[in-house]
Amino acid sequence: MKQHRSTLVAAGLALLAACTDAGTGPAGPSLSVSPGPKIVINEVMADPTKVTDDNGEWMEIHNWGSSSIDLKGWKLASGNDAAHTIATTLTVPAGGFVVLARNGNKSKNGGVTVQYAYGTALTLANGGDWISLKDAAGATVDSVAWTGTTAGASRGVKDPSADNLAVGGANWQTATTAYNTSDKGTPGAQNDGYVAPVQQPATVTVTPGAATIAVGGTQAFTATALDAWGDPVTTTFTWTTSDAAVATVSASGVATGVANGTAQIRATASNGVFAEAALTVSTAAVAKLLINELMPNPSAVTDDAGEWVEVHNWGNASADLKGYVIASNNDAGHTIASSVIVPADGYVVLARNGNSGQNGGVLAHYAYGTAVTLANSADWVALRAPSGATVDSVAWSSVPTGASRGVADPAAANTDMGGSNWTTQTSLYGSGDKGTPGGRNDGYVSPVPPGPPATVTVTPSSATVTVGGTYLFAASAVDSAGRTTSTTYTWSSSDAAVATMGADGRATGVAAGTAAVRATASNGVFGEAAVTVVVEPTGGGASELVVRVLDIGQGDANLITNGTSKVIIDGGPDSVRFGVLLDSLGLNNTTIDVVILSHEHYDHHSGLRELFRASRNITVRYFFENKNAYSNAALAQLRDSVSARAARGELVYRDTDDPCANGAVLCTITMNGGAKLHVMRPNPAGSTPNNRSTPVKLVGPDSASFSMWFAGDAEHEAIDWFDTGANYDVFPGMDVDVLKADHHGSCNGVRSRYVEMLTPDWVTFSLLADNSYGHVHTQTKELFTQYGRPWYRTDQNGTITIRTPGTPGGGYTISVTRGTQNASGPADRASTQTACQAL
């Protein structure tokens, strides 16, 4: 196919699910520059014998691209005629064909099924002639020419991606398949002699385009290739580095810093086209923060006045705690509102009372007020980064009176205040209590550089993938003293016929079975985990509804599929983990019809940015969230991505306070297989992000067989509003078969009235086993046990899958990848929140 000139091609959106609102769809399509559409004049019949030329001439147009194209307004011309403009809609589907003929009557044209008749406007001469096809803007898309024809046989293109100008050339073949008793050809079908187009990479992109890591650190690069039309191309990449003395790179694109400097990391496609990214390696200064000293139980003043927490930075770069959160088991936590600089090898004191005349003589750098309480019995305290990630957490069962407890070795484990790395302080301060607020602890041990790996741990200890799916394992190592140490790992599988391992720890399922996954450190010490590969059950038909409560960690992520429609509710706290799930579920290069972000906390939105990574080629059609103002950089970036696509007309961005954009409190989305999704307005007066969570009710194609309730991290305030403020128990109704538990099993996300309104047969919890919140709270489990409601939980059971065939009386099934129902987890504990004392 000749390339005449670049043509502006509109990229449209296909609507696969219907929203029951009066609003309009996306605005006008965006424009992108390409070499022209993948449209060819694919077959020509100039000299039929069954009927006269006047009746039997035809030509075939083939679209070998991935998007349908409407030829309305395009022009056809031949050497003997003026141009003819195609006057009506004439859609050539992706990979499809249309036949244009002089006579559209099958009984008169030799038995050809015709999609468009151009009448007497065009004549195809049997001697020398040509045909051209121009788009509506007048740009020539394709043209072919011939000097002679074969009577009673068409000529057809073999490879639609190759030059097809000369009909008598090597890329054309005389037809051998008969379509009537006298003539041969394949009108409307693949030609005789067809050769599949070879789509070669024209451009390669490496992501990220630049990165900086420390010596010994790693950076994973990815590469994607596009053909000359901008369509994704499958190819293999060879990864190389310009300077192995600065950085090495693995076969999968994972670079490792070796020494200070800059290296170019190159990805080369199979045809030699390449791209590079700059990797800078440096011995970077790093802040290392830990909770270093705690005073829960002073004696010189009351606890209300004298409690404090000391944070130590044992790194070599300063850190600012503004935006960090300090929280304990007894409260919602406090966000540090002003700049609090912790210098390298320095200390800051965060206190309940900042007045040294009232707090026992402590010079506090910041006062968090009554927002945080440190219990004298079982409790914990955590420091979380602005992103929501836990920086450090410490738990205890009891504390001394009048003396703090402090960390001895900052490099050693400090999560248990009763453990050997904590000592009771003996130095006096202020009004007579013992401790070293703002200074080096009694019993301090200078951090010792970690030694070689003595123990390697692979996490998780087990995982389940489908055949063809993937799972990303991680490895960590400690030395003989229990200090975390850095090393490189070699990954292997005990049975490559069951699962293979990538250099980055990614397992790929090959066949049903179980294999051991091994990570071997550079000194030969190794750790193992188990990967079980299963065959994904065959779909139960066009109406089958499948809900997956994904094993995403301490957060929420849910995938709903029905027919060809796909819905995602929340994306969890980890974009890497969410990306692995997108890979394993085969969601790249697909359309996600609806994405719903329940509320603006990081453990629900962080993963969603992966949906908009260009290399995934995922189309999102509708995005719902409550658009609350929230000072979180990651959420701002996600919103920027969504807003930009909405401005380009690529998706519809809806505020859940007006989900149908028509003033109604509820918007119903009908999925392709008949399931309905009721997106409801959240509590407009919710006092916290959790209490602004958007409730969603899913109803199966057979409403009597299955329904499910999702409400993000809704707490008692929101739950009460669902009942008495919005009356959602009346419409759309709250009686369901399955409940996705609110707030990861926190006791502030459930109460008796809620269970009685929902009456679920099953409950699912989404959480991380080693979480610092005490989830699932003991009170929550006791309440569901009281009502006889069994549960599964992602930390103990992995991904939870619910299926219903969508047929009358079909019911539903619920299955998990491991474990048993009603399990408990290592972090489960009773909450001391007042709200949880009477559920």
Which of 505, 534, 563 is a domain's end point?
A: 534
pLDDT in tens, 755-795: 999 999 999 999 998 888 899 999 999 999 999 999 999 99
Cα 585 to Cα 555: distance, rounded to the nearest angstrom: 19
| Per-residue pLDDT at 29 | 26
Give the model's pLDDT for residue 7: 32
Taking only the tens place, the pLDDT of each residue in 416-426 is 999 999 999 99
Give yes or no for residue 718 having a pLDDT over 90.
yes
pLDDT score at 23 = 33
The closest of 640, 608, 609 to 627, measured between CA atoms, is 640
Report the pLDDT value the prediction gives residue 364, as an integer from 0 to 100: 95
pLDDT tops 70 at residue 218: yes
1 assigned to some structural domain:
no
Fill in the DSSP letter of residue 796: H
| 275/300 same-domain check | no
pLDDT, tens digit, for every residue of 623-670?
999 988 775 777 888 998 899 899 888 999 999 999 999 899 999 999
pLDDT at 228: 77
Query: Is pLDDT above 60 for 611?
Result: yes
The pLDDT assigned to 637 comes to: 82
Average the pLDDT over each of 44-48, 411-415, 587-591 and give the range with the smallest value: 411-415
Q: Are residues 705 and 814 in the same domain?
A: yes
Domain count, the chain: 5
User: Is 382 inside any structural domain?
Assistant: yes
Phi, then psi, of 484 in degrees rounded to 5: -65, 135
Specify if 748 maps to a domain. yes
Would 631 be classed as within a structural domain?
Answer: yes
Q: Are the C-beta atoms of 275 and 266 separated by less than 8 Å?
A: yes
Do 334 and 392 lie in one domain? The reply is yes
Instruction: Give the SS3 label for residue 200.
Output: coil
Put the strands of the sheet holding 218-220 in their side by side order.
Answer: 218-220, 254-257, 247-249
Do 251 and 301 fall into the same domain?
no
Per-residue confidence (pLDDT) for residue 713, from 0 to 100: 96
State which residues form the domain around 256: 203-282
pLDDT in tens, 104-149: 999 999 999 999 999 988 999 998 889 999 998 888 888 899 999 9
Residue 259 predicted with pLDDT over 70: yes
Indicate the pLDDT class of residue 716, thresholds 50, 70 and 90: very high
For residue 102, the one-letter residue type is R
pLDDT of residue 642: 92
Map residue 608 onto helix, strand or coil.
helix
DSSP 3-state of 759: coil
User: Rounded to 5 degrees, what angle do the CA atoms 342, 347, 352 make?
Assistant: 95
Q: Residue 547's pLDDT is what?
A: 98
CB-CB contact of 595 with 623 (8 Å): yes
Q: Is residue 3 part of a domain?
A: no
407 lies in the same domain as 462: no
Pick the last residue of a domain from 405, 434, 463.
434
What CATH number has the domain bearing residue 476? 2.60.40.1080
For residues 523 and 552, state if they share a domain: no
In this structure, the answer to whether residues 479 and 425 fall within a common structural domain is no
Range 27-50 average pLDDT: 69
Q: What is the pLDDT of residues 512-541, one digit of tens each?
A: 999 999 999 988 999 999 998 887 655 556
Q: Which of 648, 650, 659 has the alpha carbon at shortest distance from 625? A: 659
Q: Residue 341 and residue 198: Cα distance in Å, rounded? A: 58
Let me know if residue 10 belongs to a domain.
no
Over range 6-32, report the average pLDDT.
30
Give the pLDDT of residue 793: 97
pLDDT confidence of residue 772: 83
Of the residues 434, 468, 497, the one at which a domain ends: 434
Q: What is the pLDDT of residues 371-383, one digit of tens each?
A: 899 999 888 899 9
What pTM did the predictor assign?
A: 0.52
Q: What is the pLDDT of residues 720-749, one digit of tens each?
A: 999 999 999 899 999 999 999 999 999 999
- The CATH number assigned to the domain holding 716 equals 3.60.15.10
Residue 519 lies in a domain: yes
Q: What is the mean pLDDT of residues 383-402?
A: 89
Q: What is the mean pLDDT of residues 253-268?
A: 89
Token pair in block for residue 350: 């965060």
> 382 with 498, same domain?
no
Whether the per-residue pLDDT at 6 is higher than 50: the answer is no
Tell me, what's the pLDDT at 665?
93
The answer on 521 and 473 residing in a single domain is: yes
Give a yes or no: residue 764 inside a domain: yes
Question: What CATH number is associated with residue 101?
Answer: 2.60.40.1260
* Same domain membership, residue 242 and residue 341: no
Work out the mean pLDDT of the chain and round it to a whole number. Answer: 88
Tokens of 323: 């935006």
Please tell me whether residues 658 and 780 are part of one structural domain.
yes
Q: Grade residue 47 by pLDDT with cuts at 50, 70 and 90.
A: very high
- Residues 482, 383 within the same domain: no
CA distance 578 to 564: 21
- 269-275-276-277 Cα dihedral, nearest 10 degrees: -110
pLDDT at 566 exceeding the cut of 50: yes
Do residues 599 and 574 touch, judged by C-beta distance below 8 A?
A: no
